[in-house]
Amino acid sequence: MNIRSTFFSLLFPEGRTEFESQQPVFFGDLQMEGILKAILSRYSEFDLRKYFYTLPGSVNTIYYRQNIYRDLEKNDFLILIFKKFSDRMAQSEKCFQYYRQTEDEIKKGSYLLLACRHYLAALSLLRDSLKQGDITSKGFQTLLEILDEMNTEKGFIEFSERVETVYSYMNELKLTLLISKKEIRILEEENMEGAGVVDRIREFMEAFEIPVQKTVPSVVENIFPSPLETSSLETAVVDILRRSNPEVFRKLKQFAEIPFTLEDNIFLNIKNEIVFYISFYEFERQLENAGYQLNYPKIHEENSESLGPDSGLEIAQVYDMALAWKNRFSGEKVVKNDIRYGEGKRFLVITGPNQGGKTTLARAVGQCVYLMLMGLKAPCQSMKGRFFEHIMTHFEVEESVETGAGKLKEELWRLKPMMQDLNGNQENSFVILNELFTTATTYDARIMAQKVMEHFQNTGCLGIYVTHIQELADEKNQPGVQSMVAQVDQEDPRRRTFLVLPMEAQGLGYSDSIARKYELDYDQITKRVAALDDCSGNGTLGEKAVQK
């Protein structure tokens, strides 16, 4: 009986989708893999990665998911109940697998009966909980309608009644084993004494020498505690029960023939989809306990009046979620920043000192865009953005020993598929480029970077470019560019504030402060060289170093 195979999803309201099985390229650059491991740490047994790897693809899907998540927040008691539902469905799936694998008729009936009972219990739990909750999302309301409709169908009612009837017969099979020292004794109903059942089983049990320290009462729902392999003890017990209750076992064998299957069943998908929301909800609570808030992004069309003509993204108090998760116990707070694309601006070009927070901000914005497209809450105070079909990133890479290619060639190889317009699939993308062409001369790097930004702007993309080349942030000579600069403490340039503000590029790299920090500036080096000369009694080396 294939119950309710019609498509329904709590994640994809517009129909079936092809899931991505491989981690997206941008995951590594945005440090999303570490975040995903934290989200799924408690739910490794569920097939959830494919959901996080697959971008939904429409604004409607984003709001569909956000509304479901709001229902969970508003009715947080549903979290525990939905967990029980998922556990029940998982047990049903496991028993159904045992039913498919075993050849024994009695085992087939037993496992199928348990699969059906777990299945029905899961659906009942889900229906009752949705009725109790104050649900307003289209997803949960549709799910409740499906469950209500199923409970009125004649076939489903008859199926439920048959399951409970056969299980009630099975529930009459009662047998108690008392295990003490080297003896195993069996106690049954009084009406079985006359048949000599107890004597026969006692003789069998006494043949076993099992050292047990104390009597252990045990209640087992399934007559086969071991999934597929039955021990001689279990075989003997089942044989006794079969002889004393032949009608029960006849019904169990008949039950194994009912046309029930879990293949292509929507509730197995719902089991995983619900955990998708629960896993992120629990992750959010942990971040919240560490002092970091997540909020719902608002989606607008590209030319929405609320954002201004040709604008596309505005985020207040954005922070790097991976860094916040890493520091959640240390007490070290992550600095938050604001970004906004002005009218006609398509690329934020971020310059400033090394280790000043440029890459961290770019990564944080990328995380926000990804979570916005996933229909989840983002690491910021507020966010308004247009819809993007793709996310593309290119962060600084190391030279590959395996390929033998230089760093510049590695960067160009990775840029090539991003820039090729084979299927037009980079249109309406969000692009993050971080410190490209650092091995080229400044002039060549600037020319190549300009060409790359112009390409993405011409194809309708919005993006961020992190660079040490000040000329790329020249708003007057670079159409569509908006400059942002990582800040340092005005009184102590060695101290990075990690604030990134919209302003003209300063033309300062503050490399001297790093050199002084590690005692590598001119004065410090010459003093050390002179000290070496004093020790050797030869001033020639020190004199040459100072003159140089």
Q: pLDDT tier at 402 (50, 70, 90 boundaries)?
A: very low
Q: Say which DSSP state 480 is in.
A: T
Q: 510 is written with which tokens? A: 């503050």
CB 25 within 8 A of CB 393: yes
Determine phi and psi for 152, rounding to 5 degrees.
-105, -10
Q: What is the pLDDT of residue 421?
A: 56
Look at residue 367 in the predicted model and tell me its pLDDT: 98
Q: Using an 8 Å Cβ cutoff, are 72 and 78 in contact?
A: yes
d(CA 52, CA 276): 9
Give the model's pLDDT for residue 128: 96
Using DSSP's 3-state secondary structure scheme, residue 111 falls into helix
Give the residues across from 132 on adjacent strands: none
**Average per-residue pLDDT for the chain:** 82
C-alpha distances (whole Å) from 144 to each of 84, 233, 249, 337, 406 are 17, 46, 37, 42, 58
In this predicted model, which residue has the larger pLDDT, 99 or 510? 99
Predicted confidence (pLDDT) per residue in 494-541, tens digit? 889 999 999 998 765 555 555 666 677 677 788 777 777 666 665 554
Which comes out higher in pLDDT, residue 481 or 507? 481
Q: Range with the lowest mean pLDDT among 53-67, 227-241, 307-321, 427-441?
A: 227-241
Tell me the C-alpha distance between 292 and 378, whole Å.
11
Averaged pLDDT, 58-77: 96
Least confident among 224-228, 294-298, 438-442: 224-228
Number of neighbouring beta carbons within 10 Å of residue 504: 14
Q: Residue 112's pLDDT is what?
A: 93
User: DSSP assignment, residue 481?
Assistant: E
Helix (H) / strand (E) containing 484: strand 481-488
Select from 47, 61, 69 the least CA-distant residue to 282: 69
The residue type found at 498 is F
pLDDT at position 193 is 44
Residue 63 in 3-state DSSP?
A: helix
Q: For residues 120 and 112, is the Cβ–Cβ distance under 8 A?
A: no
Sign of CA dihedral 306, 366, 54, 10: negative
> Residues 413-425: what's their mean pLDDT?
71
Question: Please, are residues 31 and 432 in contact by the beta-carbon 8 Å criterion?
Answer: no
- Cβ neighbours of 385 (radius 10 Å): 26
Task: Give the bridge partners for 429, in sequence order.
Answer: 390
Residue 450, helix vs strand vs coil: helix
* Amino acid code (one letter) for 421: D
Cβ–Cβ under 8 Å, residues 435 and 465: no
Q: Model confidence at 418, in pLDDT bands (50, 70, 90)?
A: confident
| 3-class SS of residue 415 | helix
Band (pLDDT 50/70/90 cuts) for residue 320 is very high
Q: Each residue of 152-180: pLDDT tens digit?
A: 999 999 999 999 999 988 777 766 766 66
Q: What is the pLDDT of residue 17?
A: 81
- Residue 242, CA distances (Å) to 245, 258, 282, 411 in order: 5, 21, 48, 72
Instruction: Show the tokens assigned to 110.
Output: 């037993």
**What is the rounded CA–CA span in Å between residue 276 and residue 270?**
10
Task: Answer whether residue 215 shows pLDDT above 50.
Answer: no
Q: Which two tokens stand for residue 426?
A: 């980079």
Residue 459's pLDDT band (cuts 50, 70, 90): confident
Residue 300 clears pLDDT 50, i.e. is over it: yes
DSSP track, 412-461: HHHHHHHH--SSSTTTTEEEEEES--TTS-HHHHHHHHHHHHHHHHHTT-
DSSP three-state, residue 242: helix
Q: What angle do CA 380, 276, 427 make, to 5 degrees?
A: 60
Burial of residue 517 (CB within 10 Å: 0-12, 13-18, 19+) is exposed
Q: With CA atoms as reference, report the closest residue to 356 among 473, 467, 474, 430.
A: 467
Compute the distance between CA of residue 383 and CA of residue 338 in angstroms, rounded to an integer.
Answer: 10
Q: SS3 of 318, please?
A: strand
- Least trusted range by pLDDT, from 76-80, 167-171, 265-269: 167-171
